[in-house]
Amino acid sequence: MKEVENHDQTIRIRLRKIISILMYLNRVPKIARSFFPPGIWEMDYDQTKPSIYITFDDGPHTVATPFVLKELKKFNAKGTFFCLGKNVETEPLLYNQILNEGHAVGNHTYDHPRLKDVSAEAYIQNVEKAKEWVNSNLFRPPYGRLSRKVGNKLIEQGFDIVYWSILSADFDTKLDPKDCLEKLIFDVKPGDIVVFHDSEKAFPRLEYVLPRFLNFVHKQGWTAEALAYKKNEE
Ligand SMILES: [Zn+2]
């Protein structure tokens, strides 16, 4: 019996590893989606009005967020900011600026816990704590990891889970900003949900890639739109 259990566990660990590798490819393969609680991976788009959906995780941040807002404004582009509750707590003016400039917001937990390090209850409490700071029905799980148990509970609570179809990989400190841009431009297509980070760690790449990427989107004749979201009931 013990051996069977160990064997099952080994398979589960291997599967987890495979899924996390798939999630960190530039484009998430469709097969990976079946392992996650239901959510939004990409958007339908109108052939005559192609759009992409750029998202920014982990902010607001004193340097990166104003930079992103300025660049989006230059290109008349809208984005969606998956904020950490603790960062909204310290940067409420930046959070308001995001909203005032017509962008969308989403919940990205209070302080970015790793699902494997905390209990399901503690994880859900962390999301609920962020709700006090981020007024949105959209939720993006940190590291793109979410168990069915936690995901279904959040869906029951009225959250729409937003994953992504393309990673800019701006968080990868070993990646040359030029390569980061090239990969992104090579992969992206209308309807994609693209992930950037308005964070300290990602800023050296974000600063190079975002303006050039927005320029590329503009030249393609595409628009960058915010994801639709609802406010939580007051
Ligand atoms: Zn994050």
Most confident of 159-173, 178-192, 212-226: 212-226
Q: For 66-91, what is the mean pLDDT?
A: 98
Give the environment of ion ligand 1: residues with CB less than 5 A.
Answer: 57-58, 142
pLDDT at 15 over 80: no
As for how many domains the chain has, the answer is 1
pLDDT at 1 over 70: no
Q: In this structure, which amino acid lies at residue 119? A: S
Instruction: Give the catalytic positions in this structure.
Output: 57, 197
- Report residue 3's pLDDT band, with 50, 70 and 90 as the boundaries: low
33 is a domain residue: no
Let me know: does 129 contact 225? Beta carbons within 8 Å: no
- Report residue 2's pLDDT band, with 50, 70 and 90 as the boundaries: low
CA of 128 to the centre of ligand 1 (A): 16
88 is a domain residue: yes
Let me know: does 131 contact 107? Beta carbons within 8 Å: yes
Let me know: does 217 contact 224? Beta carbons within 8 Å: yes
155 is a domain residue: yes
* pLDDT given at position 233: 73
pTM over 0.85: yes
CA of 206 to the centre of ligand 1 (A): 15
pLDDT tens track for 29-56: 888 888 899 999 999 988 889 999 999 9
In sequence order, what are the beta bridge partners of 35? Answer: none
28 is a domain residue: no
44 is a domain residue: yes
CA of 6 to the centre of ligand 1 (A): 32
91 is a domain residue: yes
Give me the CATH number covering residue 218: 3.20.20.370
- Report residue 234's pLDDT band, with 50, 70 and 90 as the boundaries: low
Closest C-alpha among 62, 79, 25 to residue 199: 62
Q: For 125-137, what is the mean pLDDT?
A: 98
CA of 85 to the centre of ligand 1 (A): 12
* pLDDT given at position 132: 97
Which is more confidently placed, 19 or 203?
Answer: 203
Q: For 5-21, what is the mean pLDDT?
A: 73
CA of 47 to the centre of ligand 1 (A): 31
The domain containing residue 125 runs over which residues?
40-224
CA of 142 to the centre of ligand 1 (A): 4
232 is a domain residue: no
CA of 2 to the centre of ligand 1 (A): 37
In angstroms, what CA-CA distances link 204 with 111, 139, 170, 178, 201?
22, 26, 8, 11, 7
229 is a domain residue: no
d(CA 131, CA 168): 27
